[in-house]
Copies of this chain bind each other. A is one copy, B any other.
Amino acid sequence: MKTHLDCLPCLLNQALRAARTATDDENIHRQVVDAVAGMIPGLPLDLKPPELAQQAYRIIHRIVGDSDPYRREKEESNRAALAVYPRLKQLVEQSADGIYTACKLAIIGNSIDFGPSAFDNSNLEGIIDTAMKQPLAINSYDRFLDRLHKCNSLLYLGDNAGEIVLDRLLIEEICNGNRGMEVHFVVRGRSVINDATLEDALMVGMDGVARVISSGSDAPATILSQCSEEVNNLYRSADVIIVKGQGNYESLEGEGGNTFFLLRSKCQLIADLLGVKVGDFILKENPEASFGSSQP
């Protein structure tokens, strides 16, 4: 999707939030706001919103003087999610449809975000318990399950640290019913906000359930033109692509692919585009998917 004018004030807001997460120094917060505001005039709106965010986060890293200012927060997110993992694993194993439960947990895990979301993520267990009672606002689960049954190669585009623990749980459950499946899990090529990188994937043991590869880009999204040839090849060839989070949705919506978007809607613009409310949980089949759109 292209950038809307509404994305520009939101970008400034995100930059301020990111600066505050990175440091308590109010002078730096102000420098970040000024630098990102100063970059707005002339920004081409035919870029995707995460491409603007990518530029803003590069500015933040430069001003903060740290290429990974959210390392500590990301590790805490991973630890918090790993701490609830045993209980969630049990929940999945005891449920009538383990893949559905794991799928919903993975979508709820997308609440863990320092980007556009202003959700309070401090109480992960409470968030999960509340959210599990909420139905998915868009629910292509029947199609998703059908496609998984015929799937030999799964490409999983991760989003945030912490969240990837719930992604691992979903991958475990999917592979449990289809042991021969080849799974690739894509992380960001370099640190950008709290997005998961290789370090996070290793910290949560993702390498035990999937081949973890780098996107090749520091965008907080999957900008295919910036991604490695391997990621592009997998994107074209995978039987099923699981795309996590709003940034990845913004970058891949309209790009084709055998995609299911799993995300929490985090701003009014995306909520309006999807026809849902801010905060809703989504499992949406790509209407342009080459495996067609006939109902099961």
CB within 8 Å of B: which residues of A?
5-6, 8-10, 12-13, 16, 26, 29-30, 33-35, 37-38, 40-42, 45
Contact = CB atoms under 8 A, between A and B. Distances in A.
B38 A34 contact: no
Contact of A37 (B8, B10, B16, B29): B8
Contact of A12 (B34, B37, B38): B37
B8 A33 contact: yes
* Chain A interface main SS type: helix
A43 to B, nearest CB: 9
Contacts of A35: 41
Nearest to A6: B16
Nearest to A118: B268
Contacts of A42: 34
A35 to B, nearest CB: 8
B5 A16 contact: yes
A28 to B, nearest CB: 11
A16 B12 CA distance: 13
B37 A33 contact: no
Contacts of A8: 12, 16, 33, 37
